[in-house]
Structure 1
Amino acid sequence: MGTMDLARSGQHARVRGGQERRDIVPPPQPFFKSLQTNLKETFFPDDPLRQFKGQPKSRKFVLGLQYFFPFLEWTPQYSLGFFKSDLIAGITIASLAIPQGISYAKLANLPPILGLYSSFVPPLIYAMMGSSRDLAVGTVAVASLLTGSMLSSAVSPTENPKLFVHLAFTATLIAGILEVTLGLLRLGFIVDFLSHATIVGFMGGAATVVCLQQLKGILGLNHFTQATDLISVMRSVFTQEHEWRWESALLGCCFLFFLLLTRYFSKKRPRFFWISAMAPLTSVILGSLLVYLTHAEKHGVQVIGYLKKGVNPPSFQDFVFFSPYFPVALKTGIVTGVIALAEGIAVGRSFAMFKNYNIDGNKEMIAFGMMNILGSCTSCYLTTGPFSRSAVNYNAGCKTAASNVVMSIAVMITLLFLTPLFHYTPLVVLSSIIVSAMLGLIDYQAAIHLYKIDKFDFLVCISAYLGVVFGSVEIGLVIAVALSILRVLLFVSRPRTFVLGNVPNSVCYRSVEQYPAAQTVPGILILEIGGPIYFTNASYLRERIIRWIDEEEERLKSSGEVGLHYVILDMSSVGCIDTSGISMLEEVKKITDRRDLKIVLANPGGEVMKKLDRSKFLESLGQEWVHLTVGEAVGACRYMLHNYKPTPDSSSVDRESWSNNV
């Protein structure tokens, strides 16, 4: 844009004064209406009530039922073809759910039968209330480890197993209540504080800890530390060398090799995914037959033992609300509930993206919460949507959540008729199943990717990993979340500011750092503020703006160029401003007034303009110094520089009369 074009632009901005310039401030809204709008945008961005608008009462009732029970939406269109796909998928994931359920219950220091109970009732609840077609519900390793380690810090699962189980049920109930509450109040954004980097590091650390814990089963040890950190586990292992059982170790290594081999084969040949899915149950069957035929339990190979027949007994009478151990159950329920939500929702969204449909995070929270509340009343412990089981469900070609029903029925049949067959299942096989599943959660490639893209995210990831491995699961989680929140606070408290210049042969103004060819405008300093202006960053921005002005004046003085007369603040990225931010602008204006400089605002948002108008800052600044774009602001300033040549002796009165001419 040439000088004459800029002059015309500035003259147009001046001629466009009067009423139109006063209309740059949005019309005021009543306080309660404004508050309602802000709350709706914060908690209901998806506007879940829009489907009810203009509908008759009978239709609203049906839509309400479908909202809380999504299965009512897809059952009318359910077909025989869907049933065939869901039947195959359900049987396939049941073959994985049964051994995994028993394994993860042992990981949580709970009776193995609770793992089967937890694979029966919760999937039925989720099939009715869940919005994902691919999520396969069940127990997960990380939540099981958390439950076992946190409760074990207060109650020994071997010395007082009954109380330990009751605490697990209570923690599950608390987790369910928390999840339902978050879903109903639409507070799902709380889970977003567990960033991708946090989850990668935390899951990797938890998987490492889980694998280390399985050394007890693989080596056939009877006594093992309740701590989860690397040092304690290694000390426990190497101080009991005399108790190592080579038979158990050999058996564990063989089955682990078999499981890893089938997984590798299924990855190379995706159409044979079912081989990897069937491998855990196959290992259980082969291990049980081997122990039964060779009487290996008499030679140091530990077995599951007796599992009673029958479906879930009620457990609502087992809650320990008035026990001195309740605070431990409360803490465990809150921590495991948040982790289960983060994992389940992340897994559900991942597979929904593959099939190009959406899931409602708040609905998922309600579904997870209800299945844990009802599960805690029927002898289940914490469940969510594990990745491994959901991946098998997805690859098996499931069409709807009915695959969970099929899996639940298969588990029910197992509970009613087949539990005696698990008597001779060696614990070392369960340990091998857990290790093979956990190795897939150590995503070192994701960590390398984080290092290449964002060093701070990599720091969060590694901190979470090291915190879990060398401290505890809770310590790792706290460190990771604290670092993530610290990063958010740093972004808010230290927003970037950039000097803008004109990109040659265009009307665009961009950062001179990003675009070295961009040219600064003589006599005008253009600064972009890269974020909202709050009390946390107001002082920083004031100092940064003044420093930019000082540096620009020194540069112009040393180069002998035209002195600085205007400071344009590009506020395109300033979505909001508070009273501290307005005070900061007032202070900057006073400083620039003393230096005979003029502040110009470019493209402030509607909310910002409302507050600047109410605070009388616009009246002090003058609405003629607020422009729609940086280009318009530059044009106006150039026009004034062209028509008025200020001198070092210009008085404030002359400057005021000059400003009033705009």
Structure 2
Amino acid sequence: MSRRVSDHDVPEGKEMEINSAPSSRRYSSENLPYVHKVGVPPKQNLLKEFTSTVKETFFADDPLRPFKDQTGSRKFVLGIQTLFPIFDWARDYNLSKFKGDLIAGLTIASLCIPQDIGYAKLANLDPQYGLYSSFVPPLVYAFMGSSRDIAIGPVAVVSLLLGTLLQNEIDSSKNPIDYRRLAFTATFFAGITQVTLGFFRLGFLIDFLSHAAIVGFMAGAAVTIALQQLKGLLGIKHFTKKTDIVSVMRSVWGTVNTEWNWETIAIGVSFLVFLFIAKFIGKKNKKFFWVPAIAPLISVIISTFSVYITHAEKHGVQIVRHIDKGVNPISAKEIFFSGEYLVKGFKIGVVAGLIALTEAVAIGRTFAAMKDYQLDGNKEMVALGTMNVVGSMTSCYVATGSFSRSAVNYMAGCNTAVSNIVMSMVVLLTLELITPLFKYTPNAILASIIISAVIGLIDIEAVILLWKIDKFDFVACMGAFFGVVFVSVEIGLLIAVSISFAKILLQVTRPRTAILGKLPRTSVYRNILQYPDAAKVAGIVIVRVDSAIYFSNSNYIKERILRWLTDEDEILKENQLPRIQYLIVEMSPVTDIDTSGIHALEELYRSLQKRDVQIILANPGQVVVDKLHASEYTELIGDDHIFLAVADAVRACTSKMEQP
């Protein structure tokens, strides 16, 4: 619908039309002295508007587009390829790509095997369950996942979180069978949660956990995990089951004279130094990425052989002792589908599933951006969820994308998810042939490997950047960090989520407003705090609202505008200048308004009437104008008090003030 310049402003024979979009009008207010008014947009159909909103929220990528105008057989093939992307990219797979995937798969396998054994201990499970979780889930993901670079398996943060939450319900040392069953139950529901989010395209929900909160939570979890490893690194037998730093340090220093074992400390510290040196070499020269990747396995081999030939276990060095040989046993019957542990498993699974999903999606997006390909977040959720559901039925606990292994996978030159299949096959051979050789592996080595792995989760540069950019983000980061370190993992997570939501609420309920002034020699109006040379217009206050106006912030916006007006009036009185006659509200940033917002504008109008001040609206969007007309607010203030731009509104107000 076009808008016309008001007849009394346009000379005879000069009538012209202005397009609805301000940016596409034929004549700018800079070239003509005419005042451009805003017209009424065409009324939208409610069903179409609702359908459009739902589509944009859940189906912005239009997943059905590839299926349009296709034959039935073609639709079936596309459906299979959508569910199993491997059938799409496998058509172009060749020997050259396999070489890269083979090297990458062998490299990450050498890293994951010792890590998996250690991470299983974090989850209070026997070592073989960590290996099980790097066999089945990566295979499932390779067929269903859309990321080329992500490496699947147990990760430190989720292992610690799962172990802490499970231990709160069942003591793993007193009732290991039910503990293991609850772990499978939690894994099952973690997978169901992930599949549900992906199937119903609710992936945007995980974005509510802010980047700042994730940085703090990960750093806190890294410190907590590292502190937990002091048990194995120092040879302590009686260690606290709590995770807070106070309890851990009390447990450490309380056993200095009774349980610390110097042989264990020597093994652990020496190999920890070796692992850090290997990391430094890999970081210094990217060509040597394989050095830190293979260092953990070398450490395990050398330390295990040393303990075997010296029989250090007889001198107090704690060893793994036993890892079950063989492939994953079926565990579907062990999942609690009824009884008191069903609800507990569900709650733990939802939390662990969301954290695992957040980490995996973040990793996948990072490497997809580096290689410049698209990653379908909803497909990823379905793939991750399916692999955990299948994993829960094959003796696995929650698996997800590992950042350290994914980074090695990327640097090793992986091309497709086949690298996960190669890694899975190596783990299978390990389970079938090599597990008895881990009998003499010292726990101190596993502790060293975990400490060296989790240190990378502490991102100091990100924390410094948060401080520089947004102090509230920094507070959120530190809140999550200290919550994890000084209380517990679940409390730290709760703080992270709470602060993320608090930030959203604060931004929604207390939006920014600004006083605008005119830039010299232009018709542009900008924030006077940002542009010191912007000058206020005599007799007029121009306020910009930088947010949609909803029930949550409408009263604040109304009161803030009135405070701006009161402050300006006081300044004018002190300087004996003419009073304010017009209030112009710049509404271009106002994307939407609800009934509470309109009610607040009506109250603002009445308050201004008592002060003998006229309200003017400048450049409201289509949705806002539609609602203002539907509520008859435009009739209340007058159709001639809504303008295309601030400059138009100022000219109209100035001309009226100049009239005798």
Tell me the CA shift for residue 12 of structure 1.
Answer: 5.0
CA deviation map 1:300-351 (0-9, x unaligned): 1111122222211110000123232333322221111111011111111111
SS in 1 for 2:340: coil
Is the Cα–Cα contact under 8 Å of residues 38 and 642 in structure 2 kept in the other structure?
no
SS in 1 for 2:336: coil
Q: Given residue 590 of structure 2, which amino acid in structure 1 is its aligned partner?
A: V
Equivalent residue for 2:100? Answer: 85
Which range is displaced more, 74-83 or 218-227? 218-227
Is the Cα–Cα contact under 8 Å of residues 10 and 638 in structure 1 kept in the other structure?
no
- TM-score, normalised via structure 2 length: 0.93
Equivalent residue for 1:11? Answer: 9
SS in 1 for 2:240: coil
Equivalent residue for 1:67? Answer: 82
Alignment match of 1:605 (pick from 601, 617, 621): 621
Equivalent residue for 1:522? Answer: 538
Equivalent residue runs for 1:286-435 within 5 Å = 286-435=302-451
Equivalent residue for 2:630? Answer: 614
Alignment match of 2:137 (pick from 122, 128, 132): 122
Equivalent residue for 1:648? Answer: none
In the alignment, the residues of structure 2 paired with residue 445 and residue 23 of structure 1 have an alpha-carbon distance, to the nearest angstrom, of 48
SS in 1 for 2:617: strand
Tell me the CA shift for residue 641 of structure 1.
Answer: 2.8
Q: In structure 2, do the counterparts of structure 1 residues 153 and 18 end up closer, same or farther at CA, with 3 Å as the change threshold? A: closer
Matched, 1:576 2:592: yes
Matched, 1:210 2:225: yes
Tell me the CA shift for residue 65 of structure 1.
Answer: 2.1
Q: Given residue 506 of structure 2, which amino acid in structure 1 is its aligned partner?
A: L
Tell me the CA shift for residue 245 of structure 1.
Answer: 1.1
Q: Given residue 546 of structure 1, which amino acid in structure 2 is its aligned partner?
A: L
Equivalent residue for 2:280? Answer: 264
Tell me the CA shift for residue 16 of structure 1.
Answer: 7.2
Q: Given residue 304 of structure 1, which amino acid in structure 2 is its aligned partner?
A: V
Tell me the CA shift for residue 394 of structure 1.
Answer: 0.4
Q: Given residue 215 of structure 1, which amino acid in structure 2 is its aligned partner?
A: L
Is the Cα–Cα contact under 8 Å of residues 6 and 37 in structure 2 kept in the other structure?
no
SS in 1 for 2:152: coil
Q: Given residue 640 of structure 1, which amino acid in structure 2 is its aligned partner?
A: K
5+ residue gaps, structure 2, are 21-35
Equivalent residue for 1:98? Answer: 113
Equivalent residue for 2:505? Answer: 489
Is the Cα–Cα contact under 8 Å of residues 38 and 644 in structure 2 kept in the other structure?
no
Tell me the CA shift for residue 15 of structure 1.
Answer: 7.3
5+ residue gaps, structure 1, are 1-6, 646-662
In the alignment, the residues of structure 2 paired with residue 469 and residue 12 of structure 1 have an alpha-carbon distance, to the nearest angstrom, of 70
Is the Cα–Cα contact under 8 Å of residues 8 and 639 in structure 1 kept in the other structure?
no
In the alignment, the residues of structure 2 paired with residue 204 and residue 161 of structure 1 have an alpha-carbon distance, to the nearest angstrom, of 30
Which range is displaced more, 51-60 or 453-462? 51-60
In the alignment, the residues of structure 1 paired with residue 17 and residue 575 of structure 2 have an alpha-carbon distance, to the nearest angstrom, of 36
Equivalent residue for 1:249? Answer: 265
Is the Cα–Cα contact under 8 Å of residues 150 and 328 in structure 1 kept in the other structure?
no
Equivalent residue runs for 1:628-639 within 5 Å = 628-639=644-655
Q: In structure 2, do the counterparts of structure 1 residues 76 and 539 end up closer, same or farther at CA, with 3 Å as the change threshold? A: same
Q: Given residue 152 of structure 1, which amino acid in structure 2 is its aligned partner?
A: Q
Q: In structure 2, do the counterparts of structure 1 residues 567 and 17 end up closer, same or farther at CA, with 3 Å as the change threshold? A: farther
In the alignment, the residues of structure 2 paired with residue 116 and residue 65 of structure 1 have an alpha-carbon distance, to the nearest angstrom, of 30
In the alignment, the residues of structure 1 paired with residue 354 and residue 396 of structure 2 have an alpha-carbon distance, to the nearest angstrom, of 18
Which range is displaced more, 82-91 or 502-511? 502-511
Q: Given residue 62 of structure 2, which amino acid in structure 1 is its aligned partner?
A: D
Is the Cα–Cα contact under 8 Å of residues 146 and 332 in structure 1 kept in the other structure?
no
Is the Cα–Cα contact under 8 Å of residues 9 and 635 in structure 1 kept in the other structure?
no
Q: In structure 2, do the counterparts of structure 1 residues 327 and 224 end up closer, same or farther at CA, with 3 Å as the change threshold? A: farther
Q: Given residue 594 of structure 1, which amino acid in structure 2 is its aligned partner?
A: K
Tell me the CA shift for residue 594 of structure 1.
Answer: 2.5
CA deviation map 1:218-253 (0-9, x unaligned): 122222211100111112222223011111111100
Tell me the CA shift for residue 554 of structure 1.
Answer: 2.6
Alignment match of 2:57 (pick from 30, 33, 42): 42
CA deviation map 1:430-473 (0-9, x unaligned): 11100000111112222122112211111111111110000000
Equivalent residue for 1:659? Answer: none
Is the Cα–Cα contact under 8 Å of residues 11 and 636 in structure 1 kept in the other structure?
no
Alignment match of 2:603 (pick from 574, 578, 587): 587
Tell me the CA shift for residue 214 of structure 1.
Answer: 0.6
Tell me the CA shift for residue 288 of structure 1.
Answer: 1.0
Equivalent residue for 2:171? Answer: 156
Q: In structure 2, do the counterparts of structure 1 residues 47 and 639 end up closer, same or farther at CA, with 3 Å as the change threshold? A: farther
Alignment match of 2:239 (pick from 199, 203, 224): 224
Which range is displaced more, 572-581 or 13-22? 13-22
In the alignment, the residues of structure 2 paired with residue 44 and residue 640 of structure 1 have an alpha-carbon distance, to the nearest angstrom, of 50
Equivalent residue for 1:137? Answer: 152
Is the Cα–Cα contact under 8 Å of residues 84 and 144 in structure 2 kept in the other structure?
yes
Matched, 1:177 2:192: yes
- TM-score, normalised via structure 1 length: 0.93
Matched, 1:446 2:462: yes
In the alignment, the residues of structure 1 paired with residue 627 and residue 533 of structure 2 have an alpha-carbon distance, to the nearest angstrom, of 36
Q: In structure 2, do the counterparts of structure 1 residues 622 and 15 end up closer, same or farther at CA, with 3 Å as the change threshold? A: farther
Q: In structure 2, do the counterparts of structure 1 residues 623 and 65 end up closer, same or farther at CA, with 3 Å as the change threshold? A: farther
Which range is displaced more, 203-212 or 606-615? 606-615
In the alignment, the residues of structure 2 paired with residue 454 and residue 628 of structure 1 have an alpha-carbon distance, to the nearest angstrom, of 34
Q: What's the Cα RMSD here? A: 2.1
Is the Cα–Cα contact under 8 Å of residues 198 and 464 in structure 1 kept in the other structure?
yes
CA deviation map 1:475-523 (0-9, x unaligned): 0111121111111111111111111111112221100110010111222
Alignment match of 1:31 (pick from 36, 46, 57): 46
Tell me the CA shift for residue 153 of structure 1.
Answer: 1.3
Equivalent residue for 2:208? Answer: 193
Tell me the CA shift for residue 624 of structure 1.
Answer: 1.9
Is the Cα–Cα contact under 8 Å of residues 92 and 277 in structure 1 kept in the other structure?
yes
SS in 2 for 1:66: helix
Taking only the aligned residue pairs, the percentage that are identical comes to 53
Tell me the CA shift for residue 559 of structure 1.
Answer: 2.7
Q: In structure 2, do the counterparts of structure 1 residues 402 and 19 end up closer, same or farther at CA, with 3 Å as the change threshold? A: closer
Q: Given residue 187 of structure 2, which amino acid in structure 1 is its aligned partner?
A: T
In the alignment, the residues of structure 2 paired with residue 11 and residue 327 of structure 1 have an alpha-carbon distance, to the nearest angstrom, of 71
Is the Cα–Cα contact under 8 Å of residues 523 and 565 in structure 1 kept in the other structure?
yes
Is the Cα–Cα contact under 8 Å of residues 38 and 619 in structure 2 kept in the other structure?
no
In the alignment, the residues of structure 2 paired with residue 18 and residue 399 of structure 1 have an alpha-carbon distance, to the nearest angstrom, of 54
In the alignment, the residues of structure 2 paired with residue 49 and residue 177 of structure 1 have an alpha-carbon distance, to the nearest angstrom, of 24
SS in 2 for 1:137: strand
Tell me the CA shift for residue 23 of structure 1.
Answer: 7.6
